[in-house]
Amino acid sequence: MVGLDAEKMVYEISAKQISLETITELIASGKQLSLSKEMKNRIKDCRAYLDQKISQDEEALYYGVNTGFGYLQHVRIDRKEIEQLQYNLLQSHACGVGEKVPKHLIKIMLLTKIQSLAQGYSGVQLETLQRLIDFYNHDVLPVVYNQGSLGASGDLSPLSHLSLPLIGLGEVYFKGEIKNSREVLAQFSWEPITLRSKEGLSLINGTQFMLSYGVYAVSYAKELFDWADLISVVSLEAFNGNVQPFDHLIHAIRPHKGQVETAMVIREYLEGSEIAQAKDKQVQDPYSFRCIPQVHGASRDSLAFVKQTFDVEVNAVTDNPNIFPEEDQVLSGGNFHGQPLALGFDYLAIAMAEIGSISERRTYQLLSGARGLPLFLVHDPGLQSGLMIPQYTAASVVSENKQLCTPSSVDSIVSSNGQEDHVSMGANGATKCLRVLNNLEKILAIELLTATQALEFRKPVKSSPIVEKLVALYRKEVSFNTYDRVLATDIESSIQFMRRWRLDEIKSL
């Protein structure tokens, strides 16, 4: 490995499975990667087996090794042109369009691609995999585009862009700039990799574009769940809501895991609240308050299912064909098909959109003039519009999420002259799911803005210690709204507040 900082901790890729949490921690910590001796041996043994297999039986056809690709699978490639075939593959398939993939997602793409190829079923050279590790360790991040994958033969186009710098083509992010990859290779005295048989196919077959979005989406969704639960408690307190719906007895007789967990979290957040203990409660609250455990809980269960799917995928081999040296087999299959991920993204998008939907309803209720709160949460409604229009914004974003939740996975389109006749559209589902999560963050920020404003009208009665801590921190950045002002600034400040603070930090204060 070239020029590693000896003081930095190194994560060794081994036969041990890697978790989504580990990937998130690796990206955040800046740890570097290395390969265990066992994985190096697997990679070399697989490569040697493939070379031997080709030389022993020159008449046999091995897809993508000595044949064309897709519909062109029946075209035999002359042995002396096998290496050129791999270069042609990378260049011809690099057809990405649209926005550039964020750098933190490219880093995950590299890591998950390395993890997959390191298993020793893909036939890549050790040198090729080592160069991908060097890219990761030195933050040489290929420029990748977010449109162009059907999520079926793997993420062909995005992974082609990810792989171009290996052969000195394409562009990379390096030290805050986009540079020609060959220029950056020269800075490290790296020669372009000479690809051997099947390597191009191993590099661009796979689900790592979708998977990078999935790893990030699961982590992001967990953080938003933490905020959704706590902000809902601020709203409940501001609305002078009844705490009876969160009693453990209710949830014990309908014990969906997410529902039980959510109710428990709400009870913990309400501990020590004077407002919660007050007797002046209505018998029943609107569903957006009363059914927080059922709605948040169902979405939390959905997230758990989706996480399980992605946990399997980060440890999977998803290129084709797969090489099994010990079994003396080179087998063509369909592990690159993104259907499990496509369904997961659609499921997660729908589940998280519902968290935004119920959040906006709580915002609406707080503005309605009910429960002794002033209309639109302002002292002089009429002259002052108060928080009337942030709810409009939340409603607009909620409706956009509904539109984004049309499933991608039910769509398909024929490609490669009919060879690829069913595709997952998981890549579209991935980018769409991230948009839903970004929107949810905005919706929750508007609820936070509204709920903290409403809670002020309950003074001098206090809420729970955790809520009081949250409001005190928040008030340092967003003041109470006494007179009309530009509220876009407050909404953005609320978003930044949520990004800056983690709930365990607030609890520890």
Distance CA 279, CA 287 (A): 20
Across 54-58, 170-174, 345-349, 464-468, least confident range: 54-58
Q: Residues 15-45, buried b or exposed e (16+ Cβ, 10 A)? A: eeebebeebbebbeeeebbbbeeebbebbee
Helix axes 208-238, 465-475, angle to 10 degrees: 110
| Contact status, residue 115 vs residue 315, Cβ threshold 8 Å | yes
| Contact status, residue 368 vs residue 409, Cβ threshold 8 Å | no
pLDDT confidence bin for 70, thresholds 50/70/90: low
pLDDT at residue 223 in the model: 97
Please write down the HEC assignment for all residues of 224-284: HHHHHHHHHHHHHHHCCCCCHHHCHHHHHCCCCHHHHHHHHHHHHHHCCCHHHHCCCCCCC
pLDDT at residue 474 in the model: 98
143-191 per-position pLDDT tens digit: 999 999 999 888 999 999 999 999 999 999 999 999 999 999 999 999 9
In the chain, how long is the greatest CA-to-CA distance?
A: 88
Is the confidence at residue 1, as pLDDT, over 60? no
404 contact partners, CB below 8 Å, separation of at least 6: 349, 353, 432, 435, 436, 439
pLDDT at residue 416 in the model: 80
Instruction: Give the CATH fold of the 213-508 domain.
Output: Fumarase C; Chain A, domain 2 (1.20.200)
Distance CA 416, CA 408 (A): 20
Q: How far is CA 282 from the centre of its chain?
A: 41
Structure tokens that stand for 398 in this block: 């909620």
Listed in sequence order, the DSSP H helices in 367-409 are 388-404
152 bridge partner residues: 154
115-144 per-position pLDDT tens digit: 999 999 999 999 999 999 999 999 999 999
96-121 per-position pLDDT tens digit: 999 999 999 999 999 999 999 999 99
| Catalytic center residues | 63
HSE, CB side, 13 Å, CA atoms: give it for residue 288.
Answer: 20
Structure tokens that stand for 25 in this block: 């921690």
CA R_g for the chain: 27
Q: Which CATH class is domain 10-206?
A: mainly alpha
- What residue spans define the domains of the chain? 10-206, 213-508
Distance CA 479, CA 386 (A): 13
Q: Across residues 220-242, what is the average pLDDT?
A: 98
Place of tokens 């839903």: 436
The mean pLDDT of the chain is 93
